[in-house]
Chain A
Amino acid sequence: MSASAILELRDVGKVFGDTVALEPTTLSIEEGSFVAIVGPSGCGKSTLFNVIAGLLEPDGGEVRLHDRPVTGATGHVGYMLQKDLLVPWRTVEDNITMAKRLTGRVSSAHRAEARRVARQYGLGDFLRHYPSALSGGMRQRVAFMRTLVTHQPLLLLDEPFGALDAQTRLEMQQWLLQVWKDTERTVLFITHDVDESIFLSDRVLVMSPRPGRVVADFVNPLARPRTVDTLTEPDFVVLKARIMHLLHGGTP
């Protein structure tokens, strides 16, 4: 493997009954990169994540994190879904520290960190609020902070902004890029929104269903920082056209 790869998949596949959710897939993710995975629903994106996270045992192959085998094991990635999965009976602060509470003790240092992160990213006034008091965008940010404070170097984000309206989503994308830059994590980001996949990423993996597989792997040429203008640059439009072509049944 290359020296800078944080995650490696070797022939990892998953079949449910007679649905090939994920064909044996080999993949290497560079440390510190932002990789988008785009594809229509049912092409095995979530299955891929569940295998990496250890929720699903793959039928074959190996998952390696930092060059150590972690196939079928949990507790080594950050993980976030479209559903924010905040627990309604805990405050914002206690939701952020939830992972620590579930795996050990929440120290006052953990709580101080939760408050610091919340203040830094604009939720300092809501630490003692219950999630029901927050808007969708705020809830999604709390869910992301909860993922951040696990200090996992690899974050799996499964359509995290899929349920937000267009305006909030654009703001959240810029916010996410800021946090990614601040915290130097590796991000795998699932979306079915092509614009989103290009706007955020260093690299775009395109997946296709029946059988679920990666059909293309694009290096994103766009410079950072990304702004609203990025969306109209020629490179953006070219890459978007190529991805759209694949998503609508074209061959690479």
Chain B
Amino acid sequence: MSVSDTNLASAPRRANRSSESVARKVARNVGVPVLSIVLLLVVWQAIVVGFHVAPYIAPRPYQAVLAVTQNWSTLWPLVLGTIRETVYGFVAGAALGISLGVIMAKVPVLQRLVYPVLVLSQAVPIIALAAPLVLILGFSVTPKVVIVAWIVFFPVTVNVLDGLSHVDQDLVNLARVYGAPRWRTFVQIEVPATATPLFSGLKIGATYAVTGAIIGELAASDGSSLALYQEHANTNLNTAAVYGTTMLMTVIGISWFLLVVGAEVFATPWQRRTVARRSWRRVADQSEGDSAR
């Protein structure tokens, strides 16, 4: 690439990260986290072995893993159940959060009216919420979904509201000068300008979503659920299974968080790239434009 066709350009900022080799990138983004998890397991093993901790107090890591793999056929449906509650609740909470954020940003009266209620909703202890929810909704998947959504929507609403109220008004005015209708300005300017705060809210929501699902299972399950399985193992002094189940829950939580991070990376390429990805439309245009020259 050259800037020789102009004497105006001072050197543009280059992507130092794009010059980094793919292998190094993978090593940094995947290798380091994996290493830290391995390190954690090694420390765990060392403590349990070194201090002669009894297995019913704390198992060794591999025992916890075994407790999961050996009972996989029992655990698998429970894991699926927790995933379903997490995902449904997250999607519902995100949708509610985005809608509330947009409405509150666009109607200031509603913002003053609704905001205190939203803050109040988060002050209610979630456990205290479970009992009335079971009374209303029964022991179905619904009360767990409601609890997850209850936790997830709040950071999303707050961030969307904040993002929309900080969109550069000069940019909005520029769109007006062009003669743009308000809905186009909203879709093309205000929405993308809110992408970063939106994903901050979603990431906070994603970290709490599994916790919400487990609380829901504890408080509103009639029989089979991951949370009750763990409680049962605890009663039976099956500590390895308790630890194993905790690891499972953590894995579900981390996976969901990583999925949201992945969605953000995909949806906001300009945050990391200096040059746009190639798209079919551009490729088609480029060749047509070049041949016309």
Which one of A10-18, A59-67, A121-129, A203-211 is at the interface?
A: A121-129
The answer to whether the Cβ of B174 comes within 8 Å of any Cβ in the partner chain is: yes
Decide: B174 and A74 in contact? CB cutoff 8 A: no
A252 to chain B, nearest CB (A): 33
Decide: B1 and A130 in contact? CB cutoff 8 A: no
Decide: A128 and B275 in contact? CB cutoff 8 A: yes
Decide: A112 and B288 in contact? CB cutoff 8 A: yes
Decide: B170 and A103 in contact? CB cutoff 8 A: no
In the complex, which of the residues B188, B189, B282 contacts A128, with contact meaning CB atoms closer than 8 Å?
Answer: B282
In the complex, which of the residues B171, B270, B285 contacts A85, with contact meaning CB atoms closer than 8 Å?
Answer: B171
- Size of interface on B: residues with Cβ below 8 Å to A: 44
Q: How far is the CA of A77 from the CA of B176 in the complex (A)?
A: 11
Provide the residues of chain B in CB contact with A103, threshold 8 Å: 178-181, 184
Q: How far is the CA of A183 from the CA of B276 in the complex (A)?
A: 30
Decide: A77 and B10 in contact? CB cutoff 8 A: no
Decide: B288 and A133 in contact? CB cutoff 8 A: no
The answer to whether the Cβ of B175 comes within 8 Å of any Cβ in the partner chain is: yes
Residues 109 to 150 of chain A near chain B (Cβ within 8 Å): 111-112, 115-116, 121-126, 128-130, 132-138, 141, 150
Provide the residues of chain A in CB contact with B1, threshold 8 Å: 125
The answer to whether the Cβ of A69 comes within 8 Å of any Cβ in the partner chain is: no
Decide: A171 and B7 in contact? CB cutoff 8 A: yes
A241 to chain B, nearest CB (A): 31
Provide the residues of chain B in CB contact with A101, threshold 8 Å: 184, 188
Nearest to A135 among chain B residues (CB) is: B10
A89-B270, A103-B178, A175-B8 as given contacts; A133 in contact with B289, CB under 8 Å: no
Contacts A98-B178, A125-B2, A137-B10 supplied; 17 other A-B pairs, CB < 8 Å: A55-B177, A74-B178, A74-B179, A81-B174, A87-B193, A90-B270, A91-B276, A99-B178, A101-B188, A103-B178, A108-B288, A111-B285, A122-B9, A132-B274, A137-B8, A171-B7, A175-B8
Interface residues of B (CB under 8 A from A): 1-3, 5-15, 168, 170-171, 173-181, 184-185, 188-189, 192-193, 195, 268, 270, 273-276, 282, 285, 288-289, 292
